[in-house]
A and B are shown apart, each in its own frame.
Chain A
Amino acid sequence: MKFLRFLALRILKMAAVVLAIVVINFMLIHAAPGDPASVIAGQSGAADPKFVAQLREQFGLDKPLYEQLFLYLKGVVQLDLGTSHRQQRSVASLIGERLPATLLLTGVAFAFALAAGIGLGSAAARRAGKLTDTLITVLALGFYATPIFWVGLMLVLVFSVWLGWLPSFGMGTVGADLHGWAAVADVVPYLVLPSLTLGLFYMAVYARLTRASMLEVADQDFVKTARAKGVPEGRIIRRHVLRNALLPVITFAGIQAGQLIGGSILVETVFAWPGIGRLAFEALLARDYQVLLGVFLCTSVLVVVFNLITDLVYLVADPRMELS
């Protein structure tokens, strides 16, 4: 019961955040220099006057602002994110078509970053002060300072241009009509470089965090007690230190998930990965603001959902957590 109340409250909070983001979107359209109708049309000043007049009617741009906001909200609730006038298609269907590719990319990158980051971080903490620790710390510091899109380009340069091992763009062999496992196997080589690019930066973040957190926990009394009882070292690390040290990493990973989705705009641009990030880049080139705002709303919703999942994972990971 307590859990259901917690869940209901969290979902209510999520809805409030999403509502606030929709309002921000609305304000952005109206804060833009020039006529909101031409912003919606995606053209700067040169739009066909008849078309703009039609848009003005459709969006109620001659009505008072609060009525316009209401109309806009009503549309969003019905999953109507407007129309891309460049592509003559609804924004919602454009995003829906591209979303799976982005979820695949960010999901794989996130799993890689978390696994590699926790692995490297705990290896560094176990050998604190030794060469391994220094190497891992330097590596983490390096990736932490490298722009994500540049990492992507360098990986392309090394693994596609010079070594020719992996494809540098796209999401599958062009023109190949594959089904079942063959189709899956076809995507894998295309997935390696983009997910590595997106994951390396976050791997660095999680490695640093895991290291600091493990050193903190390793100093505590219950670890000393375990050691005094003669518990084997490997078991102490796994059962006592790592378990407790992972809590801040989980919290942080949840918060960072949003940044991960933002980073996918850059990675998808570098690798021509057909996800919503690439869609945003194309919209940027075509000044198709409706699509851009739709992508912004969609990524925000993803972040909010991710945060809820983090909270639930936290509940499982740490039973001491109070439901509040």
Chain B
Amino acid sequence: MRTFLRNKGAAAGLVLLVLVGLVAAAAPLLFPFSPWDMQGAPFSPPGEDGFLLGSDSLGRDVAAGIAYGAYVSLLVGAVSTVVALLLGVVLGAVAGYLGGWIDDAVMRFTELFQTVPGFVLAVVIVAIFTPSLASIVFAIAIVSWPPVARVVRAEFMSLRSREFVQAAEVLGRSRLSIVLRDILPNALSPIVVLASLMIASAILLESALSFLGLGDPNLMSWGFMIGQGRSVIRLAWWMSVFPGVALFLTVLALNLVGEGLTDALNPRMSRRR
């Protein structure tokens, strides 16, 4: 923890992330109306007509959209990362612990999903299953689990032959209990590092999907706002600039935190300074 906070970038990232979280949580208090409702004249520039960050083509408040969108971004990022972690940890653990032909089969499967262009697959999945929170989370998880499986497999392969695992086997403990209580806790730090970076890329993916019009139609999201601003950029630059800045800052914060975690938890993997 101390190593983590000594890293200035990581500390700044954490502060930024907490701020985004606060904005997301306080959205209903700051803007006690739906971000979809018309609040004034359309295309009001920032600072005019009571709009801090301007209004969009339907007179909706851009600032309110950003606040509510923060919640959606964080939610999708977190949930799809959890789903991807579950998939990746289970497959990686099975492959690494059991080895043999099961390992071979799982790794071929993983390679296939690493070869397929992830973003295109995500687009196809969301389009065919119709855009909703569930289909977006599913699509992002499907394209993000392979690196987890690889890392977990490598950890399990090296840990399974260690003495404390052999001791547990001699004691006659069940395989499941050994995996869950002895191996997994020792493989946790690379998983944590990976997870923080995965949330960042999940948020980017969600924004890209909703930019293409594949967002959940009931949820205001940053990507959707940028997509709305695309065709009117000559008229209202603020519609696409501000949601993009929010997106940039959030992803940057997560990347900084991820790098801080890498330095703190995996000294061997860390960048040289």
Which residues of A does B touch, CB under 8 Å? 17, 20-21, 24, 28-29, 31-33, 39, 128-129, 141-142, 144-150, 153-154, 156-157, 161, 212, 215-216, 255, 258-259, 261-263, 265-266, 269-270, 280-281, 284-285, 287, 289, 292-293, 295-296, 299-300, 303-304, 307
Contacts and interface: CB of A to CB of B under 8 A. Distances in A.
A33 B130 contact: yes
Contacts of A141: 252, 255-256
Given A266-B211, A284-B214, A144 B255 contact: yes
B240 to A, nearest CB: 5
Interface of B: 112, 114-121, 123-125, 127-130, 200, 204, 207-208, 211-214, 223, 226, 229-230, 233-234, 237, 240-241, 244, 247-248, 251-252, 255-256, 271-273
A303 B117 contact: yes
Nearest to A216: B272
Contacts of B214: 284
B117 A299 contact: yes
Contacts of A24: 116
B241 A21 contact: no
Of all A-B residue pairs in the complex, the 8 with the closest CB atoms, nearest first, are A262-B119, A150-B244, A145-B252, A145-B251, A262-B117, A258-B117, A32-B128, A299-B117
A265 B125 CA distance: 15
Contacts of A263: 119
A21 B208 CA distance: 23
7 contacts: A28-B125, A145-B252, A147-B247, A265-B123, A266-B211, A292-B128, A303-B117
Contacts of B255: 141, 144-145
Contact of A293 (B112, B124, B252): B124
Given A28-B124, A39-B128, A261-B117, A284 B213 contact: yes
Contact of A258 (B118, B240, B273): B118
A125 to B, nearest CB: 10
Nearest to B235: A161
Name the residue among B117, B208, B211, B240 with the largest chain A CB count within 10 angstroms: B117
Given A33-B129, A284-B212, A289-B127, 11 more contacts: A29-B128, A39-B128, A261-B120, A262-B118, A265-B120, A265-B212, A281-B212, A284-B127, A296-B117, A300-B117, A304-B115
A258 B112 CA distance: 12
Contact of A307 (B115, B226, B252): B115
